[in-house]
Each structure stands twice: as structure tokens, then as C-alpha cells.
């Protein structure tokens, strides 16, 4: 099992990542004078690994789509009432990863295939640069029990501390396995919002909101 940050090639070639959570200096890898043709990968910035080929980008998007579809089919709503098609899931991930306020990590199995993912949604609001929201913690059902989820959460917390974030938040379906896991991992419950999300069949379920303080900024 390995966990790594996920970045995709920037338009026009190379790879584009931010060196810090506030969207600081951008780093491109690519051969000068050869637009559209990624060159040898530059040294990773702030621990971010770069994907410098279209083949890797396409393969990873396909795997991420499979993970999303499997989790929804397994009962996780994560924004969906019914499982998306492969095309819908791929398009969703493309848009999600293009958001400059999102940081995404992935877990790969021994073959290198993505089987787990989690993201951090930063905020650009002036009064909220100290906080972020954990979103889309997803583990393919075939890969569960291999500590991907706690590994991803620990990785996100290390990144948040390194970026001097002092508060993380998240929400999850009330009564779910995830809810008990977050408590075990030291997250504090704010409360539950009844009828927050719709699930397959049209029923409304409650969502529990959690937070974790990482220390004074």
C-alpha cells in the first residue's frame, strides 16, 4: 500500500501543482520550447508527486471513477442518489481535480491501481484560511481492511499541520461505519442535521458533523 498526492498535467503540457495550501508558487515540469510535450519530471514541490504523461492521467481518472461508482453502489451517497455512469464519474473527477482549492491524495494497491482517495477542500475566504474540509474519503470495497482510510486521514492531517491549518471539518451519514471511525480517530462531534441527504429510494438521512483542532495557529 502506498499513499501519494495526485496532480494532473496542466493545459499546454507539463504538470501544474501548488507549492502550498494557499495556492502559492506554481511548479511546471516540461521541456522549454516544446508546448504540449511534458519533459522529465521536475523535483516534487512540497512533497507533491507529478504525473507527466497523458496515459497516467487517463488511467488514474478511470480508477478514480471506478472507486466512486463502487462506493455509491455499496451504499455511500457522497453526493449521489444512484451510482453515476463511468462517463459521469470521470467527468466529475475531472472537474473536481481542476479546482485549485482541492488537494487530493490516493492510495494504490500493489499493482499501482488507485483503490482509495481522500481530498481536502481549502477556503479562499479571508477569515477562513486557517481551516479546511475533508471530503470524499473513498475506499473501493475490494480494498477495505488494508488501512487505506486511516492512512489517508493521517496524511491529510500531516499536510494540514505543515500548512499551518488549525481546524479541519467533515460530515458523514449518521449511523454509518465512517461515523464510528471518525470518533475512534479523535474527531469531535458537533451534532447531527436531520434529513440532510437523500439516498436511493428517496429516503432522507441525517448527517453528523465533526471537527478536529490541530493546534493554535
In DSSP notation, 29-43 reads -S-TT-TT---SPPP
Per DSSP, 62 falls in state H
CA dihedral 86→61→145→153, nearest 10 degrees, is -130
Predicted local distance difference test score (pLDDT) of residue 161: 94
* Cα–Cα dist 25/21, whole Å: 10
* Cα–Cα dist 186/177, whole Å: 15
Asked whether the predicted pLDDT for residue 11 surpasses 60, the reply is no
Which candidate, 114, 157, 159, 109, places its Cα nearest to that of 138? 114
Asked whether the predicted pLDDT for residue 15 surpasses 70, the reply is no
* Cα–Cα dist 117/67, whole Å: 8
Alpha-carbon 179 to chain mean position: 18
Q: Which cell numbers hold the place of 165?
A: 491549518
The region of weakest confidence among 31-40, 50-59, 188-197, 198-207 is 31-40
Q: pLDDT tens digits for 16-69?
A: 333 343 433 222 222 223 333 233 333 222 223 333 345 667 888 999 999 999
Predicted local distance difference test score (pLDDT) of residue 174: 95
What superfamily would CATH give domain 2-213? Gcn5-related N-acetyltransferase (GNAT) (3.40.630.30)
More confident residue, 198 or 200: 198
CA atoms within 13 Å, Cβ hemisphere of 156: 31
* pLDDT bucket at 173, cuts 50 / 70 / 90: very high
Q: Is 101 exposed, middle or buried (0-12, 13-18, 19+ CB in 10 A)?
A: middle
Alpha helices per DSSP H over the chain: 54-73, 86-98, 148-162, 177-184
Which candidate, 105, 173, 160, 150, places its Cα nearest to that of 130? 160
Return the SS3 of 112.
coil
Return the SS3 of 68.
helix
* Cα–Cα dist 110/77, whole Å: 28
Amino acid at each position: 500500500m502506498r499513499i501519494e498526492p495526485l496532480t494532473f498535467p496542466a493545459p499546454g503540457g507539463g504538470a501544474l501543482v501548488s507549492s502550498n495550501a494557499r495556492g502559492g508558487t506554481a511548479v511546471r515540469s516540461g521541456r522549454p520550447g516544446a508546448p504540449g510535450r511534458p519533459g522529465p519530471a521536475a523535483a516534487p514541490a512540497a512533497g507533491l508527486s507529478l504525473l507527466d504523461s497523458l496515459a497516467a492521467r487517463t488511467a488514474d481518472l478511470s480508477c478514480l471513477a471506478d472507486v466512486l461508482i463502487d462506493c455509491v453502489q455499496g451504499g455511500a451517497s457522497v453526493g449521489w442518489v444512484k451510482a453515476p455512469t463511468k462517463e459521469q464519474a470521470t467527468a466529475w473527477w475531472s472537474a473536481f481535480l481542476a479546482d485549485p482549492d482541492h488537494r487530493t491524495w490516493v492510495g494504490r494497491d500493489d499493482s499501482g491501481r488507485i483503490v482509495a482517495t481522500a481530498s481536502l477542500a481549502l477556503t479562499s475566504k479571508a477569515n477562513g484560511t486557517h481551516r479546511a474540509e475533508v471530503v470524499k474519503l473513498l475506499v473501493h470495497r475490494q480494498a477495505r481492511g488494508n488501512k487505506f482510510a486511516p492512512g489517508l486521514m493521517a496524511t491529510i492531517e500531516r499536510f494540514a499541520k505543515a500548512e499551518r491549518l488549525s481546524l479541519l471539518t467533515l460530515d458523514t451519514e449518521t449511523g454509518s461505519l465512517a461515523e464510528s471511525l471518525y470518533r475512534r480517530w479523535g474527531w469531535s462531534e458537533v451534532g447531527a442535521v436531520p434529513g440532510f441527504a437523500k439516498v436511493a429510494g428517496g429516503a432522507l438521512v441525517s448527517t453528523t458533523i465533526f471537527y478536529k483542532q490541530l493546534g493554535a495557529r
